[in-house]
Amino acid sequence: MTPGQKQGGPSVRTIPEGEDRERLVCPDCGYIAYENPKIVVGSVTTWEDGRILLCRRAIEPRRGFWTLPAGYMELGEASAAGAAREAWEEARARIEIDCLLAVYDIPRISQVQLIFRARLLSPAIEPGPESVEVGLFAWDDIPWSQLAFPSVVWSLNEHRARLGQRDFPPGGNPPDPVHGL
Amino acid sequence: MTPGQKQGGPSVRTIPEGEDRERLVCPDCGYIAYENPKIVVGSVTTWEDGRILLCRRAIEPRRGFWTLPAGYMELGEASAAGAAREAWEEARARIEIDCLLAVYDIPRISQVQLIFRARLLSPAIEPGPESVEVGLFAWDDIPWSQLAFPSVVWSLNEHRARLGQRDFPPGGNPPDPVHGL
């Protein structure tokens, strides 16, 4: 299909022999790129006084907006370890994972988000390369109008609803996710 | 690196410019294949009498062994919907998801498994293309010595431990996973 169109990498959608759905195939070399949903791991991390760690994004999408430390899980990693790695990378925060706070499906962008509840082990935080600013926010000081993604709001609300609780099921998508992401 | 070695697709490990870890790059076209952990979605599905749905695998790995209906989540899918799809594909089972039963990390093979508790809506089941046989098993009739993967055993034990319970946190890897998978 479309020979001569050399784009570098899998760029043609076709149903490979023996399969039942379209896959992305490289017209140059025939490689089939199996695409799968990606796992985002992150945390609602609090200091001893209950303030919550947020990071202002240095990168797109939503550059300049505030988010939880979170990112794509890497190969060979356990999910909680990935959430701790992201807290380090984005906020130089050393954290201890407590429990799974929420599992969100974002099918529009083929993501599953595993959000943990965690404790900040030292208040010495600073921006990593993907953050322009990091901070600890009391609930009433959270910059609600400048949060990067709906799932940040969902996670914060879930955290608030579970304060003082243990052994609870993780939260999921709100019943009516008006915004897709 | 190794020019002339034309394998079709990303096959060379190198650190792309601006990145901090090795990625898999195609020596033919330069395409970078970002590899991420994969999500497996599955279920412990029971009929009204408590018997559990198992499928005997028609495909490798572990062909001929018994497993829960489970498989790779697809793009654009929510996790619970994926678990229901797998039950249909592997056992022609119509199921209703109840809750998240367990989340397992299998970092050795870069998998996260989301295992749901589900109800079988009709006992009319039959093998799909990836199963040679499907069945409903009372606890004492489960073919324990012929289960395909450790996480099948973990899921069954978690299901047993949570019988009659609601609103519980999902189980995780056992403390000492002697077997990696």
Residue A178 pLDDT > 60: no
Tell me if chain B has a CB within 8 Å of the CB of A38: yes
Whether residue A61 is preceded by a cis peptide bond, meaning omega within 30 degrees of 0, is: yes
Tell me if chain A has a CB within 8 Å of the CB of B105: yes
Residues of B in contact with A29 (CB under 8 A): 6, 8-9, 26, 28-29
Residues B112 and B104: beta-carbon distance below 8 Å: yes
Judge: B107–A28 Cβ closer than 8 Å, yes or no: no
Q: Given this model, what pLDDT does residue B112 score? A: 98
Give the mean model confidence (pLDDT) for residues B115-126. Answer: 98
Give the mean model confidence (pLDDT) for residues A16-44. Answer: 85
Confidence of residue B30 (pLDDT cuts 50, 70, 90): confident
Residue of higher predicted confidence among A46 and A11: A46
Residue B133 pLDDT > 90: yes
Confidence of residue B46 (pLDDT cuts 50, 70, 90): very high
| CATH, range A38-161 | 3.90.79.10
Residues A68 and A86: beta-carbon distance below 8 Å: no
Residues of A in contact with B113 (CB under 8 A): none
Confidence of residue A24 (pLDDT cuts 50, 70, 90): confident
Residue B54 pLDDT > 50: yes
Q: Same CATH topology for A1-35 and A38-161? A: no
Q: Given this model, what pLDDT does residue B181 score? A: 47
φ, ψ of residue B147 in degrees (nearest 5): -85, 145
Residues of B in contact with A30 (CB under 8 A): 8-9
Residues B87 and B15: beta-carbon distance below 8 Å: no
Question: Quick one: how far is CA B177 from the chain centroid?
Answer: 17
Residues A67 and A147: beta-carbon distance below 8 Å: yes
- In A, minimum Cα distance to B100 occurs at A169
Which residues, including other chains, have CB under 8 Å from residue A23's CB and lie 6 or more apart? A13, A14, A15, A16, A32, A33, A34, A35
Residue type, A176: D
φ, ψ of residue A109 in degrees (nearest 5): -115, 20
Residues of B in contact with A10 (CB under 8 A): 31
Alpha-helical (H) ranges within A22-130 are 79-91
Give the mean model confidence (pLDDT) for residues B157-171. Answer: 98
Evaluate the CA torsion angle B5, B6, B8, B9 in order and state its sign. Answer: positive
Judge: A21–B74 Cβ closer than 8 Å, yes or no: yes
Judge: B77–A107 Cβ closer than 8 Å, yes or no: yes
Most trustworthy range by pLDDT among A20-24, A116-120, B173-177: A116-120
Q: How far apart are the first and last CA of chain A?
A: 33
DSSP state of B176: S
For chain A, what are the domain ranges? 1-35, 38-161
The residue of A59, A85, A104, A105 whose CB has the most chain B CBs within 10 angstroms, and thus the best one to mutate to test that interface, is: A105
A88-137 pLDDT per residue, tens: 999 999 999 999 999 999 999 999 999 999 999 999 999 999 999 999 99
C-alpha to C-alpha distance for B115 and B106, rounded to whole angstroms:
13
Q: Given this model, what pLDDT does residue B4 score? A: 42
Residues of B in contact with A21 (CB under 8 A): 74
Q: What are the tokens at B86? A: 């797998």
Residues of B in contact with A113 (CB under 8 A): none
Residue type, B57: R
Q: Given this model, what pLDDT does residue A176 score? A: 67
Architecture of domain A1-35: Single Sheet (2.20)
Residues of B in contact with A114 (CB under 8 A): 103, 112
Give the one of A36, A80, A99 whose C-beta lies nearest to B169's C-beta. Answer: A99
For A118, other C-beta atoms within 10 Å of its C-beta total 24
Tell me if chain B has a CB within 8 Å of the CB of A107: yes
The number of C-alpha atoms within 13 Å of B47 and in the hemisphere containing its C-beta is 15
Q: Given this model, what pLDDT does residue B162 score? A: 98
DSSP state of A169: P
Give the mean model confidence (pLDDT) for residues B67-95. Answer: 97
C-alpha to C-alpha distance for B165 and B180, rounded to whole angstroms:
29
Residue A73 to residues B34, B99, B132: CA-CA distances in angstroms? 11, 24, 34
Q: Given this model, what pLDDT does residue A8 score? A: 67
- In A, minimum Cα distance to B76 occurs at A107
DSSP state of B48: T
Alpha-helical (H) ranges within chain A are 79-91, 150-161
Give the mean model confidence (pLDDT) for residues B92-108. Answer: 98
Q: Given this model, what pLDDT does residue B15 score? A: 85
Residue of higher predicted confidence among A13 and B167: B167
Which residues, including other chains, have CB under 8 Å from residue B145's CB and lie 6 or more apart? none
Q: Given this model, what pLDDT does residue B2 score? A: 41
Residue B25 to residues A9, B22, B32: CA-CA distances in angstroms? 10, 9, 5
Residue B5 pLDDT > 50: no
The residue count for chain B: 181
Confidence of residue A1 (pLDDT cuts 50, 70, 90): very low
Residue of higher predicted confidence among B117 and A4: B117
Q: How much is the pTM?
A: 0.88
A58-92 pLDDT per residue, tens: 999 999 999 999 999 999 999 999 999 999 999 99
Residue A50 pLDDT > 70: yes
Q: Given this model, what pLDDT does residue A4 score? A: 42
Confidence of residue B25 (pLDDT cuts 50, 70, 90): confident
Work out how many CB contacts closer than 8 A connect A with B.
Answer: 113
A143-167 pLDDT per residue, tens: 999 999 999 999 999 999 999 999 9
Evaluate the CA torsion angle A21, A27, A31, A35 in order and state its sign. Answer: negative
Give the mean model confidence (pLDDT) for residues B54-77. Answer: 97
Judge: B169–A100 Cβ closer than 8 Å, yes or no: yes
